[in-house]
Amino acid sequence: MEGYLLEPTLYTIKGIAILDNDGNRILAKYYDKNIFPTAKEQKAFEKNLFNKTHRANAEIIMLDGLTCVYRSNVDLFFYVMGSSHENELILMSVLNCLYDSVSQILRKNVEKRAVLESLDIVMLAMDEIVDGGIIIDADSGSVVSRVALRNDDIPIGEQTVAQVTNAIHSIFW
């Protein structure tokens, strides 16, 4: 189809997945119901994706009409999927933001057990990066600052003296 131009769209991300080193889903979000209408189809795609990438050295693969960028660390695989005509650099910026955000949240301990223990915050970070397929933020620093625990969410027994002093100071001054 030469001369065929696609309409620009903000819906650039088709899905994000974090799989373990056996290809099992830790966390996944799919934003295009036309491509992945059921959980069964999502799992089949993830299995195929993992089988094609878990031993590869590359960072990108075309699979089932999707451009998939990925990165692995210890026992985790991070994937960001876009359409076949999507700019790989945009997808890679989302992948890097996701990975860097998770790394900061977990204090550089990016492995399955740590992700599972902080799954709620990792999910929140994923939602801060992409909403409904639209890229909201690709800066890991701002993502982490929005999902980080605030002092008033930490039980007083676990707060430092400085945190308690600052909290009291902000109330009275």
pLDDT digits (tens, 9 = 90+) for 91-114: 999 999 999 999 999 888 888 999
pTM of the model: 0.81
**pLDDT (0 to 100) of residue 155:** 55
DSSP 84-149: TTS-HHHHHHHHHHHHHHHHHHTTT--SHHHHHHTHHHHHHHHHHHEETTEE----HHHHHHHHSP
What CA–CA distance (Å, rounded) separates 96 from 87? 15
**Placement of tokens 């996701």 in the chain:** 98
More confident position, 56 or 1? 56
pLDDT over 70 for what percent of the chain? 82
What CA–CA distance (Å, rounded) separates 84 from 99? 22
**pLDDT (0 to 100) of residue 57:** 77
Q: What is the DSSP letter of 4?
A: -
Let me know if domain 13-172 sits in CATH 3.40.190.10.
Answer: no
Amino acid at residue number 20: D
Amino acid at residue number 91: L
What average pLDDT does the chain have?
86
Q: With b meaning 16 or more CB within 10 Å and e meaning fewer, what string describes 131-159? A: eebebebbebeebbeebeeeeeeeeeeee
Tens digits of residue pLDDT in 149-169: 554 455 555 556 655 666 665
The mean pLDDT of 71-80, rounded to a whole number, is 93
Inter-residue contact 76 to 115 (CB < 8 Å): yes
Nearest to 99 by CA among 88, 111, 117: 111
**pLDDT (0 to 100) of residue 4:** 60
Residue 53 sits at the vertex; the CA angle it makes with 52 and 57, to the nearest 5 degrees, is: 130
Residue 110 sits at the vertex; the CA angle it makes with 87 and 78, to the nearest 5 degrees, is: 30
